[in-house]
């Protein structure tokens, strides 16, 4: 609640009754400067007339890991006078002053957004000024990376120069590659803290490897958590088309996978109900819903008149026909899987059916648990079925039968597919699974 109130106070035209709300405890020994009140009154009176005032947003007033940008107004004043002798971009260096509220403390690494650019507080003047302010640098490079769910996130970086600060000829695989070195500064947060020496990133059409990773400059001596900025050198290297996602500019982005495996009843009769169970595999490993990393799904039917599905994946067969059920990962809707359900009219007599889609193939070390049921007049009976497996090389798989289910595990390849048969009396159902080796 406190944070929500502070966000509201920082909105356009807001005021803060106690401007020291974000001042760290280490500042308790500081007393007000002479003429600070007079200076503050002068700035409040005349600052609004500055021609370079901006309606913008800030991120970092509350700490390095906050995610919510708050509205504010600020002035960006020149600190570099144009000169033909200066090679730096004049508008990349600015002195930032907030209009209202006049905060006495702005942490290093605070980001400001205006004019289509992000500005990083590099050199705050919290001690020498009565009001928070300081030198900001324009971020001209963006680091794209993935979160836990595979969403592309962006982190703005400040590049020391738009020219390589050093280079050397490095013979690699008979090719001479000229290596460019760029000095980079960024805010320290939970994303950039995962970087380190030899981490890789994609800028433009090139790949870069981190050297000289520096994350130990403290604002308050002995307080490692007061490290607000991270500095390092990015060294050019050739991209790796096999692992680097050059479309989204994510280093090693092609190694990320998230698959949703769906199991349920592929064949239903009108009026029956069932459920589709999703299983998520992240980088090949099954992951479950947790407090730290929630996993939820969004469901949709291509034809509600044939099959309807609720938010939990429960399906109802409404009419004869075929419908496609789509399951999306709520945390990244680009990740999805589909499941075909066929609905037939009410049947008389008996039949054996598998209660989920049988996979076409299994790779080495993969498993699948199949369940079958004997149905009579379209209704489940709960009567146990018997399983037989045949065809494939016995050394390529194991089959563990328990009740009405059988767990098939692939241990190697087989030229002949594995046939799984579920039967009850004169009724049976069979499916083939191809076993793949390495």
92 or 349, which is more confident: 92
Mean pLDDT in residue range 171-178: 47
Identify the three-state secondary structure at position 339: strand
Average pLDDT rounded to a whole number, residues 349-359: 80
Instruction: Give me 270's structure tokens.
Output: 């009108």
Alpha-carbon gap, residue 203 to 278, rounded angstroms: 36
> Which residues constitute the domain of residue 400?
347-438
Question: Residue 91 — φ and ψ, nearest 5°?
Answer: -85, 5
Domain membership of residue 144 (yes or no) is no
Whether residues 125 and 154 fall in one domain: no
Q: How confident is the model at residue 132 (pLDDT cuts 50, 70, 90)?
A: confident
List pLDDT tens digits, range 91-131: 888 888 887 656 778 889 999 999 899 999 999 887 776 66
Mark whether 400 and 365 lie in a shared domain.
yes
Residues 235 and 323 in one domain: no
- 11 and 118 in a single domain? The answer is yes
Q: Which residue in 61, 126, 121 sits closest to 94, CA to CA?
A: 121
Same domain, 27 and 119: yes
Instruction: Judge if 118 and 172 occupy the same domain.
Output: no
In a domain, 315, yes or no: yes
Pair of tokens at residue 192 = 């950039």
In a domain, 393, yes or no: yes
* Domain containing residue 284: CATH number: 2.60.40.1080
Reported as type and span, the H/E element at residue 434 is: strand 427-435
pLDDT band at 241 (very low <50, low <70, confident <90, very high): very high
From 346, 380, 415, the end of a domain falls on 346
- Could you tell me if 327 and 286 lie in one domain? yes
Q: Does residue 372 sit within a domain?
A: yes
374-397 pLDDT, tens digit per residue, is 888 767 788 889 999 999 999 999
In terms of average pLDDT, the best of 238-242, 263-267, 359-363 is 238-242
Q: Based on the fold, state whether residues 74 and 126 are members of the same structural domain.
A: yes
pLDDT at 355 over 70: yes
DSSP 114-171: ETTEEEEEEEE-TTTSSS-EEEEEE--EEEEEE-TT--EEEEEEEES-SS-S-EEEEE
Q: 215, 238, 255 — which closes off a domain?
A: 255
Please indicate, yes or no, whether residues 25 and 125 belong to a single structural domain of this protein.
yes
Boundary of a domain, candidates 302, 331, 346: 346
- CATH number for the domain harbouring residue 109: 2.40.10
Are the beta carbons of 204 and 140 closer than 8 angstroms? Answer: no
How far from each other are the two terminal CA atoms of the chain, in whole angstroms? 55
Q: Residue 94: what are its φ and ψ, rounded to 5°? A: -140, 150
| Domain identity same for 261 and 185 | no
pLDDT computed for residue 192 by the predictor: 95
For residue 317, being part of any structural domain is answered with: yes
Asked whether residue 110 falls in the same domain as residue 187, the answer is no
Residue 143, domain member (yes or no)? no
Lowest-pLDDT range of 31-35, 73-77, 146-150:
31-35
Total number of domains in the chain: 4
The answer to whether residues 300 and 311 belong to one domain is yes
């Amino acid at each position: 609640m406190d944070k929500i109130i502070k966000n509201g106070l920082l909105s356009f035209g807001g005021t803060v009754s106690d401007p020291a709300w974000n001042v760290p405890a280490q500042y308790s020994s500081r007393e007000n400067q002479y003429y600070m009140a007079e200076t503050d009154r002068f700035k409040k009176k005349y600052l609004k007339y500055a021609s370079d005032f901006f309606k913008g947003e800030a991120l970092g007033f509350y700490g390095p890991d906050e995610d919510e940008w708050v509205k504010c107004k600020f002035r960006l004043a020149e600190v570099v006078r144009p000169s033909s002798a200066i090679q730096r971009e004049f508008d990349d260096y600015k002195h930032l002053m907030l209009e209202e509220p006049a905060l006495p403390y702005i942490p290093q690494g605070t980001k400001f957004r205006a004019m289509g650019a992000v500005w990083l507080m590099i050199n705050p003047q919290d001690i020498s000024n009565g009001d928070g302010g300081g030198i900001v640098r324009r971020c001209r490079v963006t680091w794209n990376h993935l979160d836990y769910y595979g969403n592309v996130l962006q982190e703005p970086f400040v590049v020391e120069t738009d020219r390589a600060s050093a280079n050397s000829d490095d013979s690699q695989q008979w090719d001479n590659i000229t290596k460019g070195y760029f000095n980079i500064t960024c805010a320290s947060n939970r994303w950039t803290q995962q970087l380190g020496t030899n981490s890789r990133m994609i800028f433009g059409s090139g790949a870069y490897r981190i050297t000289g990773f520096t994350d130990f400059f403290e604002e308050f001596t002995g307080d490692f958590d007061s490290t607000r900025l991270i500095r390092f050198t990015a060294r050019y290297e050739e991209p790796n088309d096999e692992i680097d996602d050059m479309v989204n500019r994510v280093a090693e982005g092609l190694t990320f996978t998230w698959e949703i495996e769906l199991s349920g009843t592929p064949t239903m009769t009108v009026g029956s109900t069932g459920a589709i169970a999703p299983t998520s595999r992240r980088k090949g490993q099954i992951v479950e819903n947790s407090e730290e990393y929630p996993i939820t799904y969004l469901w949709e039917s291509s034809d509600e008149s044939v099959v309807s599905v609720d938010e939990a994946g429960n399906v109802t067969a409404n009419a004869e026909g075929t419908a496609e059920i789509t399951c999306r990962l709520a945390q990244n809707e680009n990740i999805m899987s589909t499941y075909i359900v066929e609905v037939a009219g009410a049947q008389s007599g008996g039949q054996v059916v598998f209660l989920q889609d049988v996979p076409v193939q299994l790779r080495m070390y993969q498993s699948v648990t199949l369940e079958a049921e004997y149905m009579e007049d379209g209704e489940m009976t709960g009567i146990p079925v018997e399983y037989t497996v045949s065809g494939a090389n016995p050394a390529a798989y194991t089959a563990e039968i328990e009740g009405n289910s059988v767990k098939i595990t692939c241990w190697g390849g087989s030229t002949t597919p594995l046939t799984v048969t579920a039967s009850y009396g004169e009724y049976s159902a069979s499916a083939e699974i191809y076993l793949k080796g390495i």
